[in-house]
Structure 1
């Protein structure tokens, strides 16, 4: 899986969906807009519904209920992770990243534009709160 860089301040969920679907940020943003998902809506980082809906539109299934993060070793092969979890007023907020385990390697795709590398392996620095499992392609 390849990283996709977010081009908007609130675009981490769109970029994560694009990486999972294997498409560009622009295509994922257009698909989101067609679903009525606006880049200006802060629910992109404070609600799971938009990202789940977008991934469904892009042909990928994701869990409907977040699971608490226990350890890196217990994550499925692909998962949306909520990191940098905090309160913003009365709402929870976080940064979406994608955890990937494939071919004996594991890494996190982080879409934050300012990063030198969008493929992260500094697991001790990230503090996931919970995750949504992403089903393998073709699973029902």
Structure 2
């Protein structure tokens, strides 16, 4: 039987991928005191790393939003690996979005909305969260966006 969250993902046309393994000396998630901390996820899709470039230069706002959404999908893949069932997500507590930005780019919040909007689409009010959207001069593999999450476990 499909859980309500898995059914909602199917309605949105989203299939969660196999979680990406870490590429350095860290773990993809940590569970501690009823909270799930998910390491920064980059936009890795079925064909590998996607959305390489800088926002405000080679990537558009639409590209950045799509990249952030893909990061959020990868966060859910890690959450399912950690918890076994996405029904155990009590709330998305906090997102931090890092946006690889050209020097004069100031629309980081619009980019990270790609992840924020996705979590609200999937979880409703449980998907509303605190958030930071930070412009940076570079990200791993040259991607445009990286997003990390803190999730309360039910």
| Fold in common (TM above 0.5) | no
Which structure carries more helix by proportion? 2
Structure number, greater radius of gyration: 2
Greater RCO between the two (CA within 8 Å, min separation 6)? 2
Question: What TM-score results when the alignment is normalised by the length of structure 1?
Answer: 0.29
TM-score in terms of structure 2 length: 0.27
